[in-house]
Amino acid sequence: MDTIRNPIEWSMDKLREAGSAMETAGGSIHGANSQATVHPAVRRIGLADLRDVLKKGVEDFAAYRTDVMFLCIIYPVISAVLIQIIFHQGMLALLFPLAAGFALVGPVAAIGLYEMSRRRERGLEASWISAFAMIRAPSFGPILALAVILLLLFLLWLAAAQTIYLATLGPATPVSLGSFLSDVLTTEAGWTMIVLGMGVGFVFAAVVLAISVVSFPLLIDRPVGVAIAVGTSLRAVAANPLPMAAWGLIVAAGLFIGSLPAFLGLVLVLPVLGHATWHLYRKLVAD
C-alpha cells in the first residue's frame, strides 16, 4: 500500500531524481565515451565532519592569511559601493535583500579559495595569483556558466524582494532609514513583509546551496560539465539532509556576522567558509 511521506523525505527524493536527470542530460550532451560522463559517487557524512571541515578551513586560512585577505578585501569594497548607491538612489527597500543575497553569489566569490585549498592539499604553491590558475583550465567555461546561473538567481531574488515590498509597504519610497525600519518593525504590513521575505529568501538560499555546494569545487577538481557537477551536488545534498541543513545555517550565520560592521568581517569569514567548503566537497564526493 502507498504511504504518505513527510515533506523532507519527499524533497530528498526529488533532489535525487533531479540530480540523476541532470547527470543523464550531461552524459547525453557530451557523449557516451567522454570523460565528462563519469558520475562521481557521493558519501554520507555526519555533523562531526562539519567541525572537521571548519577546522581545516581555519588551517588553510592561517597558512595563506595575507593572500586570502588580499583576495577577499574586494568584496567589502564592492558591498560598500552598492550600499552608497542604494542610499543615494532611494532604494532603501533593497538594503537588506542585497545583504542577505550575498549568500547566493558567495560560492562564486570563493572560487579562488577552492583552488588555493586544492593546491595546498596537493603540496603545490598557492597564492592569490595562483588562485586564478583555473582561468586557463578547460573547466573555466563551465565554471563561468554556473556563475552566471547564480547571478541570475541573485537578480531574481532582488526582483522578488522588490515585489514583496511593493505588495506590503510600497509603493512609496522610504524617506529615511529610520522611518523605513520603523515601518518594518512596528506595522502589520512590515511584519508581513518580513515573513514573506524570509520564506522566499529561504527557498532561494536552499536552491543555491543544493546546486553549488559541491559543483564549483568539483568543476575545479575534475573535467566534468555543468550538468554532472550540479547533479552530483543535488545527490550529495539529498544523501545528507541534516548535515547539509546544518552547513547552510553555518554559512548563513557566518555571512551575517561577517556583514557586521559594514561587511568588513567578510575579510575573515569568507576565507574560512571558502576553504572549508573545499574540504566539505572532499568528504562528500568519492575519489
> How many Cβ atoms sit within 10 Å of the Cβ of residue 237?
27
- The total number of residues shown for the chain amounts to 287
Contact 30, 75 (CB under 8 A): no
Q: Spell out the SS3 assignment of 159-191.
A: HHHHHHHHHHCCCCCCCCHHHHHHHHHHCHHHH
pLDDT computed for residue 51 by the predictor? 95
Residue 279 lies in a domain: yes
Domain that holds residue 246: 42-165+192-284
User: What ranges in the chain are assigned the alpha helix state H?
Assistant: 7-30, 47-63, 65-72, 74-88, 95-100, 102-109, 111-121, 140-168, 177-186, 188-212, 215-221, 226-239, 241-258, 266-284
Residue 206 lies in a domain: yes
Residue 197 lies in a domain: yes
Residue 136 lies in a domain: yes
Residue 27 lies in a domain: no
pLDDT computed for residue 20 by the predictor? 61
| Cell 595562483 sits on residue | 130
Residue 48 lies in a domain: yes
Residue 33 lies in a domain: no
Structurally, the chain folds into a number of domains equal to 1
pLDDT computed for residue 250 by the predictor? 93
Residue 187 lies in a domain: no
**The C-alpha cell of 208 is what?**
543555491
CA distance 172 to 160: 17
Walking along the chain (287 residues) 10 residues at a time, the average pLDDT comes out as: 51 59 52 56 95 94 73 67 69 78 81 87 76 70 92 92 90 80 89 93 93 93 91 95 94 82 74 92 93
pLDDT computed for residue 69 by the predictor? 65
Contact 218, 40 (CB under 8 A): yes
pLDDT computed for residue 31 by the predictor? 40
